[in-house]
Amino acid sequence: MPKTKLEIPEDLIEAIELSSFERQLPEQGIKAIHRFLIDSSDEKAAKESEEWIEKQKALWQKVDEAVIRCHEVAPVVSVPEWLSEEWWITLCLPWSEQLEEAIKSAHAWCDKKHEQSS
């Protein structure tokens, strides 16, 4: 009987399923979550999954800040300027393994935009 009781959020399971069918989307979740979904008695996978889920949740406020900043440095007139940026789709996927990198890329884009307007 596993010591760790972990419930994978339903939206994370859906994101994993969607990204497995839609190859254009970045992979969702981490390997440990996939291992845990296959074998719920894998305590190492459960622990890694739990830590990663909490880390992702902590990033969501930073995603909000990055999006707000995008709107500040490049107000939307008709189509957001950042819509075609590589990091944008990842920024919109809360369970992406590359979310932290997308946040950094968004801020770098905002920095560049701010410098251009100064």
Task: Provide the domain limits for residue 73.
Answer: 10-117
Mean pLDDT to the nearest integer, 68-78: 94
Of the candidate ranges 10-19, 22-31, 32-41, the one whose mean pLDDT is the lowest: 22-31
Find the helix or strand (DSSP H, E) in which 68 lies: helix 43-73
Q: Are 112 and 85 in contact (CB under 8 A)?
A: no
Q: Residue 102 has which token pair?
A: 């997308």
Tell me, yes or no, if the pTM score tops 0.85.
yes
Q: Is 2 within the bounds of a domain?
A: no
Domain assignment present for residue 1? The answer is: no
Does 96 fall in a domain?
A: yes
Per-residue model confidence as pLDDT tens digits over 8-20: 999 999 999 988 8
Number of domains in the chain: 1
Residue 113 domain-assigned?
yes
Does 87 map to a domain? yes
Half-sphere exposure for 66 (CA within 13 Å, toward CB): 22
Spatial CA neighbour of 87 closest among 63, 111, 69, 60: 63
The whole-number pLDDT of residue 3 equals 57
Cα–Cα distance between 88 and 85 in angstroms, integer? 6
The answer as to whether 4 is a domain residue is no
